[in-house]
Chains A and B, each alone.
Chain A
Amino acid sequence: MGLVRSNPIVRFEMRRRFSGFAAAAGIGIAIGIPGLAVVVAYALTVRGNDQFNGIDSFNNTGVILLTTVVVALTGTLVLFVPALAGGSIASERANQTLQPLQLTLLRPAQIVVGKLIASSAYLMVVIACALPVIAIPYLLGGVPVRTVITCLIVLAAIAIELAAVSVWVSSWFTKPVGAIVTALAMSLALCLGPWIVAGLTLVSQVTVAAAESPPPFDENAARLLAATSPTALFGFVDLGDIADDDPAGSSGRLVAAACWLGVTTLCIRGASKRVVAPAERDR
């Protein structure tokens, strides 16, 4: 509990996070990119609207717009979060401010969680600021509020996981630049890697299935693989059309949630071990 409440690092980092030009610029970027994407998508979909309208349980334009906004926001987060959180511990090392911190009564986990909370809080504000853009599919496309809210929650969860990974990467570095670049690579690998591997698995299975007469085709393995990506959390979003109550869908969601929890806690624990003074390592 002391990790969150009465944690001096939280207060201290919040103040630094939410001040200055960078804080405002970050919010601008996070609204600008999805905003632009939604405008383009709207312009493209409105034309062909008549052909598709009325097929699904709710307006197709809405689904397309929502997907566009959410994909754009996720992409922004994947690039933005490492830049935001990747320097958090490495820069303390670079500025030699970590030693004085290590000597205080703060526990290493408090330092790590404090930094994570401050970064996440800023990201929540960024996501909240993107709310008007997310509201466009709701207003124009008739997407239910419930769906929009689930999307917001999933975006927040992705942001937190990526922040935790970035802080963990940061704890291994002594220079912020190296940490940020590595965190960026990790972030991309974590979000896209499982999909690529899953895709390759499917392709190879299809190839094998085509060669043999009784097809040992099993798309569940690929699905579960893909579910390890934080983006698989979007499986929780109800798009109405695809009846997602098949067993693979729910086990995929379970895997996605478990992976989110596992990666986040492991990163916090790993970073905490790296933040202690050298005298306390490996003890």
Chain B
Amino acid sequence: MIDGHADEQQAPRAPSDGAAAAVSFRGVSKVYGTNVALNDVTVDLPAGCVCGLVGPNGAGKSTLLSIAATLLRPTAGTVEVFGHPIADTAAVRGVVGYVPDVLGLYTGLSVVDYLDFFADSYAVKADQRPGLIDGLLELVDLGGKRDADVNTLSRGMKQRLALARGLINDPKLLLLDEPASGLDPRARIELRDIIAHLNGLGVTIVVSSHILAELEEMCSHALVIEHGRLAGFEHLGDEPDRVVTVTYLDAPAEQYRISDDAAQAALVARLVGEGRNVVSVSTDTTGLEARFMRLTAGELN
């Protein structure tokens, strides 16, 4: 993952190096009548990241994604996608793929015809479309359903078809709004694999969900919003803030900061090797869920 982020925890609003940002939100607000859906959100999502967008129902996740997708105009603030202001819709739409939470598929036509229509609408040349569509169908594992009517697909398959549609313009930024909703555990794992694969190809991905555990496994960053406000943005994974508490039979407990399982195993081996009477080794949860609770609790204070 290409990422030069330091600890964002202290200053979640600090803009990072602008050049590397895939999406940059500056003071973004969206007001529906009197309902404030987004309130002064400022954050940079680095290029190449898989960013989880977390928040309770009505937090403003879909609103934020729709704005980045050029569907909604913010009431205040500016948004840039790979340096293009979102008012330049043609430029932004050329690099963004968006899969909304409602799938919005046409029925009464086959999977391949559906994708062909969208490829055509993105001005993909007729002779390039079959190859593109075959590749996408293989990626989302719908190769066997090429000629099936869109109507006859299961929910999970429709979700994957919508994903294929979102990828048809070969986007650099993929916005997925609750892609895991309605998927069984197996389909979720497959979705995670697809996301990892795309990220490996250099696609920046923003994925919203309230299933925190799902996001944790696939995201490099987490963006938490609540009541339209940015409650936190941080880099997951490489921070050494796993705190391990070791209790001894004959000594007061000690705490260690370590980075991963290997380090924890090494620590235990060292302590035992030193002849200390280790009773237990417990890890504080530092997962997304814990951080989510911490972040949102902090915001409420």
Binding site for B on A (CB under 8 A): 8-9, 11-12, 15-16, 19-20, 95-106, 277-280
CB-defined contacts of B256 to chain A, threshold 8 Å? none
Whether B279 sits at the interface, judged by CB under 8 Å, is no
Within 8 Å of chain A (Cβ to Cβ): is B286? no
Residues of chain B within 8 A (CB-CB) of A102 are 71
Given contacts A103-B93, A105-B123, contact A279 B104 (CB under 8 A): no
Interface of B, secondary structure class, is loop
Q: Assess whether B102 is in contact with A8, with CB atoms less than 8 Å apart.
A: no
Give chain B interface residues in 239-276, CB to chain A under 8 Å: none
Selecting from B52-60, B113-121, B221-229, the interface stretch reads B113-121
Q: Mark B152-181, 1 if CB is under 8 A from A, else 0.
A: 000000000000010001000000000000
Which of chain B's residues has its CB closest to A280's CB? B89
Partner of A277, one of B70, B109, B117: B70
Known contacts A103-B71, A278-B72; is-contact A97 B104 (Cβ 8 Å): yes
- B73, B109, B118, B120: the one within 8 Å of A100 (CB): B118
Whether B120 lies near A11 (C-beta < 8 A) is yes
Given A97-B105, A99-B104; A279-B121 close (CB under 8 Å): no
What residues of chain B lie closer than 8 Å to A100, measured between beta carbons?
100, 104, 118, 165
Closest to B96 in A: A103
Q: Is residue B191 contacting chain A, with contact meaning CB distance below 8 A?
A: no
B121 touches A278 (CB 8 A): no
Asked whether any CB of chain A lies closer than 8 Å to the CB of B86, the reply is yes
**Is A15 a contact partner of B70 (Cβ separation < 8 A)?**
no
Q: Give per-residue flags for B15-47: 1 if the beta carbon is below 8 A from chain A beta carbons, else 0.
A: 000000000000000000000000000000000
Q: Are A278 and B71 in contact (CB under 8 A)?
A: yes
CA distance A106 to B70 in the complex (A): 14
CA distance A99 to B121 in the complex (A): 13
Question: B79-138: which have CB < 8 Å to A?
Answer: 86, 89-90, 93-94, 96, 98, 100, 102-106, 108-109, 117-118, 120-123
Residues of chain B whose beta carbon lies under 8 Å from any beta carbon of chain A: 67, 69-73, 86, 89-90, 93-94, 96, 98, 100, 102-106, 108-109, 117-118, 120-123, 165, 169
Residues on the A chain within 8 Å of B94, using CB: 105
Closest 4 CB pairs of A and B: A104-B121, A8-B120, A96-B104, A279-B73
Contacts of B93 in A (CB 8 A): 103-105
Min CB gap B186→A, angstroms: 26
- Across-interface contacts of A11 in B (CB, < 8 A): 117, 120
Asked if A105 and B71 make an inter-chain contact with CB atoms under 8 angstroms apart, the answer reads no
B104 touches A104 (CB 8 A): no
Tell me, in angstroms, the Cα distance from A99 to B106 when the chains sit together: 12
B109 touches A15 (CB 8 A): yes
Q: Which residues of A contact B123 (CB under 8 A)?
A: 105
Query: What B residues does A103 contact at CB under 8 A?
Result: 69-71, 93, 96, 98
Closest to B74 in A: A279
| Residue of B whose beta carbon sits closest to that of A111 | B121
Q: Which residues of A contact B73 (CB under 8 A)?
A: 278-280
Q: B119's closest neighbor in chain A, by CB?
A: A8
Alpha-carbon separation in the docked complex, A106 to B89 (Å)? 12
Question: Are the C-beta atoms of A279 and B71 separated by less than 8 Å?
Answer: yes
Give A31 to B67 CA distance when docked, in angstroms. Answer: 50
Complex CA–CA separation, A20 to B149 (angstroms):
14
The CA of A174 and the CA of B122, in the complex, are separated in Å by: 25
- A sample of 13 inter-chain contacts (CB < 8 A) reads A9-B121, A15-B109, A16-B108, A97-B104, A97-B106, A99-B100, A99-B104, A100-B165, A105-B94, A278-B72, A278-B73, A279-B67, A279-B89
Cross-chain contact B118 with A279 (CB below 8 angstroms): no
Contact B72 A95 (CB under 8 A): no
Could you say which residues of chain B place their CB within 8 Å of the CB of A9?
121
Give the contacting residue for B102; candidates A96, A101, A277, A278; CB below 8 A.
A96
